[in-house]
Amino acid sequence: MLNTLKGKMATLNSELAYRMRIWQHRTKLPTLESGDRLIVETLKREGAYVTTLADLGLPSTQEMLQAAYQQLSRISDVPNSHLNERLPQIYTVTDLAEFYQWGSNNRLLKIIENYLGLPVAFHGVHLRKDFPNEHQFGTLLWHKDSEDRKMVKVIIYLHDVEKKHGPFEYIPLSLTSYPHLNSYRIDHKLRQSGYLGINDEQVEKIIPKSAWKSCTGSAGTVLLADPRTALHHGTIRTEARSALFFVYTTNPPKRPELCTQYWDDTFPKPEMLQEIA
């Protein structure tokens, strides 16, 4: 009983300190242009914002894309068609200058800092290829990420993504945020799953499918999403999908041990792709 009470007090103190940091940093947030302010406001309201590389217009985009397609071409096919659950191929490309330079662009960091309300930690980049699957498991289940209280993932589609490719799908925060009743029902289902995720049928009993936002788009589509606050998943796909994932949290994040995967040896790095090629 005493240990439980101590744990709750520690959590409360941590949250109070977090909110105090946000309050103290509010006057230090960088100024944004109106278009970038719209991105932040939409992220806060919806949990995601959809744009394109062309509209975002960050420098070094062409170099980053060229590096992405070069690395993607080195990923060999895996003999997994016989498997019931086909896991994604994930490569950490953080160490390549083209990716790190694009992801640490000052304008992009300003946008993310205004959303998070605190200084930003850019953790790294994953090049990811997801395969066709017939049922939901892993990130195909509806879930919320756990690295921080709020975070941003910048997802870039490397080819046209239609429904058959399993696009990123989310539910707007207006339908799942506190004190909306749906938030308690969703969180209850997530707890019951051990935070592994819940399937379409479970979600549809709480929030109708008509309210789900499926993010299809052509090659170069960019999704800025908060996967911690927005309930989301990748949908069932019949064709493979390739994308880049740039990951940002506050500095430091609530759970730094979950962020090491974006730069350590959890997943293969470019030199591994070189060996494969």
Between 5 and 66, name the one with better pLDDT. Answer: 66
Mean pLDDT over each residue of the chain, to the nearest integer: 94
Looking at residue 270, what is its pLDDT? Answer: 80
End-to-end CA distance of the chain: 57
Looking at residue 1, what is its pLDDT? Answer: 67
Return left, alpha or beta for 26; rule: phi > 0 is left, psi -120 to 50 is alpha, else beta: alpha
Peptide bond into 119 cis (omega under 30): no
> Using the 8-state DSSP alphabet, how is residue 220 labeled?
T
pLDDT tens-digit map of 82-133 = 888 999 999 999 999 999 999 999 999 999 999 999 999 999 999 999 999 9
Looking at residue 80, what is its pLDDT? Answer: 83
pLDDT tens-digit map of 163-181 = 999 999 999 999 998 888 8
Confidence grade of residue 275 (pLDDT, cut at 50, 70, 90): low
pLDDT tens-digit map of 200-226 = 999 999 999 999 999 999 999 999 999
Looking at residue 273, what is its pLDDT? Answer: 59
Looking at residue 148, what is its pLDDT? Answer: 98
Peptide bond into 270 cis (omega under 30): no
Whether residue 160 is predicted with pLDDT greater than 90 in this model: the reply is: yes
Domains of the chain: 33-76+84-258 (2.60.120.620)
SS3 state of residue 203: helix
Q: What is the DSSP string of 108-143?
A: HHHHHHHHHSS-EEEEEEEEEEE---SS--GGGSBB
Looking at residue 82, what is its pLDDT? Answer: 81
Radius of gyration of the chain (CA): 19
Whether residue 272 is predicted with pLDDT greater than 80 in this model: the reply is: no
Q: What percentage of the chain exceeds 70 in pLDDT?
A: 96
Whether residue 58 is predicted with pLDDT greater than 90 in this model: the reply is: yes
